[in-house]
Amino acid sequence: MYKLVANIVKVILKLMGSKARVYGEENLPKEGGYIIACTHTGYVDILNLGVAMYPQEIHFMAKKQLFEMKGLGWLIEHLNAFPVDRDNPGPSVIKIPSQLLKEGKVVGIFPSGTRNSEGTDLKQGAITIAQLAKAQIVPAAYVGARNAGDVMKRGKGYLIYGEPFYVTGKGKEGREQFTQHLERELVALTEELENRIAVK
């Protein structure tokens, strides 16, 4: 189903002029599992990231409430998403993505692009998973169309991948250090993307 949906979404975004222009593709690891941590402002960024990386499939981390919604839960489960309880995180928060990474798959996490408590928690979650799984993180930023309304108005999308990195720090101190590093990378990538758009 992932292949079918990816191709349908690709056609729709292309026809509407909202398919993202992509920069930094050379930064994507050629083999092995890794985490892609992308800024998140709506749901079109999720679609554009999935389309941009296809045929590489992404296993998205999604809040469990989405799986409880009739129809949507069934769909995202068949699109490789897996649930996470952000309010009461258990062992599965680490276990499921770690297993996916071990199998050489890509795990997608959307920490907020802003400096708020939820964004920091999600960034630290991505760092914790990378630290324990010894997997690379690819920071990414998206700017552009956010929702169906933007797509209908032919809003453009832009996506950029940063350089991958390993979490080399140990323990809690290492996680805090690399969470800050990820935050800086996401801010810098967003600024770089906005500068590229401005000179067009």
Q: What is the CATH number of the domain that holds 91?
A: 3.40.1130.10
pTM of this structure: 0.88
pLDDT at 157 over 70: yes
Under the banding of pLDDT at 50, 70 and 90, the label for residue 78 is confident
Residue 56, domain extent: 1-199
Burial of 100 (0-12, 13-18, 19+ CB in 10 A): buried
Give the pLDDT of residue 19: 93
At position 116, the amino acid (one-letter code) is: N
Q: What are residue 55's phi and psi, to 5 degrees?
A: -85, 0
Per-residue pLDDT tens for 122-133? 678 899 999 999
The residue whose two tokens read 């960024």 is 45
**Quick one: average pLDDT of 139-145?**
94
pLDDT at 166 over 90: yes
Q: How many distinct structural domains can be found in the chain?
A: 1
> What proportion of the chain, given as a percentage, has pLDDT over 70?
90
Per-residue pLDDT tens for 13-42? 999 999 999 999 999 999 999 999 999 888
**Quick one: average pLDDT of 41-52?**
90
Give the pLDDT of residue 68: 80
Give the pLDDT of residue 122: 66
**Residue 100 and residue 136 in contact, taking contact as beta carbons nearer than 8 Å:** no
Measured distance CA(148)–CA(16) in Å, rounded: 10
